[in-house]
């Protein structure tokens, strides 16, 4: 047994190549982590919270040329000049946001959390049907995702009719 411990063998060329590949892969992974941390150091939060149907203005690293949203049904973004980003919550849930520079290198990655409005919204449950009201200070119908289809359609229809009347000058 002591003979085996004293004997050392050189790794085969294939094993040395495998070890070298692991070292390179580790360096690339550490570089990506450093890029993400650099993005966080530039003011990009790890989790961005926005309310559904609301927008938030935030700043990305100045080198940002491309912004990717994992699920555009949850949130939408519009990249402006100088790294200014407009983030809009579209439906409840979570997705991710990735910022890339002009060469495709990742500058930052964040989680986007789209939540329901909390202040002044009253939800009335009638069996399986739900209706939402905005009470600021008087309660008015205010459709929310998750309201019953009938209520959602009626209130949305009224809002569309009112908007059309306002934009057409009452004609």
Number of other residues whose CB lies within 10 A of the CB of residue 50: 19
**What's the pLDDT at 32?**
44
Dist. CA 82–CA 58, nearest whole Å? 11
**What's the pLDDT at 83?**
83
Domains of the chain, first to last: 40-115 (2.60.40.1080), 121-168 (no CATH)
pTM for this entry: 0.57
Mean pLDDT, contiguous 10-residue spans, the chain (171 residues): 50 64 52 44 77 91 90 92 90 92 92 84 91 86 89 90 81 61
Q: In this structure, which long-range contacts are made by residues 143-148, counting pairs with CB atoms below 8 Å and at least 24 apart in sequence?
A: 144/52, 144/116, 144/117, 145/52, 145/91, 145/92, 145/116, 146/92
| Residue where the block lists tokens 């983030």 | 87
**What's the pLDDT at 163?**
85
């Amino acid at each position: 047994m002591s003979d085996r411990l004293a004997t050392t063998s050189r790794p085969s060329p294939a094993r040395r190549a495998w070890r070298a590949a692991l070292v390179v892969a580790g360096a690339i992974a550490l570089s990506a982590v450093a890029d993400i941390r650099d993005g966080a150091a530039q003011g990009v939060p790890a989790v961005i919270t926005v309310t559904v149907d609301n927008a938030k203005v935030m700043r990305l690293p100045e080198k940002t040329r491309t912004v990717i949203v994992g699920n555009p049904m949850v949130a939408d973004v519009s990249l402006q000049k100088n790294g200014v980003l407009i983030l809009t919550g579209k439906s409840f849930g979570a997705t991710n946001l990735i910022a890339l520079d002009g060469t495709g290198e990742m500058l930052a990655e964040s989680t986007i959390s789209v939540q329901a409005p909390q202040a002044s919204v009253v939800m009335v449950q009638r069996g399986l049907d739900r209706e939402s009201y905005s009470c600021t200070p008087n309660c008015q119908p205010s459709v929310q995702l998750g309201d019953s289809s009938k209520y959602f359609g009626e209130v949305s229809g009224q809002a569309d009719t009112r908007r059309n009347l306002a934009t057409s000058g009452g004609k």
